[in-house]
Structures are given as structure tokens and as C-alpha cells.
A = this chain, B = another copy of it.
């Protein structure tokens, strides 16, 4: 069997951790986790957005998003209202306080990203991202693998 430390999942995990390790201290100093930052970033680029779509954009599962929104709302970094035409749906937007926080974090964040780009190479970075996108698209078409071992159980 393959040396698992050289497997694709491990390569991706280590690479991502190496990247996030650069950003976490800055986010932490502003009282934000990585996921909270993702949500604020996503909200800052739209006027308002429904919870389900936000989950898709920020790449978070519903339950995680529910908890984080509850926290961000309590900290008054976001605002939430119910959609008029469909009472099931909630619509979220970033608050003035939230925007201010983003403006405070963004410079450091941008500087770190620039440092990474410079060190790794802008061209190489673009190429890497393209390959990652292609990988994602390839696997999306593989769909959910109907695991043969489950057939008799469910």
C-alpha cells in the first residue's frame, strides 16, 4: 500500500495547513476564527444573502454556519432578517461594525497573501490553483461513490 504520507489527501492537508498557519495569528489577534473570517469576507462582497447560499459560498455545512451566525449576530458583526415571501428563509448581511472589522484585518491579510505569492511565484501559484480547480471538477463528476459495501445495509 502507498506510503500514506505521500497520499493526495495528506498532501492537500499539509499544504493547506502551511498556508493557514500564516494567517491564523493575525485573525486571532482580531478575535476571529478562520471560518468567521470566511463568512464576513463573503458577506462583504454582497448586499445580502440567504443562509443556504452563504453556506455554499463560504463552504460551510449548515450546522456549523448556524452556530457561527448566532455568535456573529450576538457580537453585532452581522444582521439577520426573515425573507418576506418565504418565512423559512433567513437573509443575512454584514453590519457597519463588521465592515469596520474587515477593514482592520484586510491590510495584514493582504500583506501575508502578497508574501506567499512572492515567495512561491505568482505564475506557479496561478497554475496550482488551476490544477486544484480541475481536480475538484474531475471528482465532482465522479459523484457520490455508491459504496458496494453499503448496499445490503441500507
Chain A residues close to B by CB (< 8 Å): 1-23, 25-26, 29-30, 34, 38, 41-42, 44-45, 57, 59, 106, 108, 110, 112-113, 115-116, 119-120, 124-125, 127-129, 131-136, 138-142, 144-145, 147-150, 153
Contact = CB atoms under 8 A, between A and B. Distances in A.
Contacts of A16: 9, 12-13, 16
Contact of A8 (B1, B41, B125, B139): B125
A25 B106 contact: no
Instruction: Please give the count of copies of this chain that the complex contains.
Output: 2
Task: Decide if the interface of chain A is mainly helix, strand, loop or mixed.
Answer: helix
Contacts of A26: 145, 147, 149
23 contacts: A1-B44, A1-B110, A4-B41, A7-B113, A8-B113, A11-B129, A11-B132, A12-B132, A15-B132, A15-B133, A15-B136, A16-B16, A22-B142, A26-B149, A29-B153, A108-B147, A108-B148, A119-B141, A120-B138, A124-B131, A124-B134, A127-B131, A128-B128
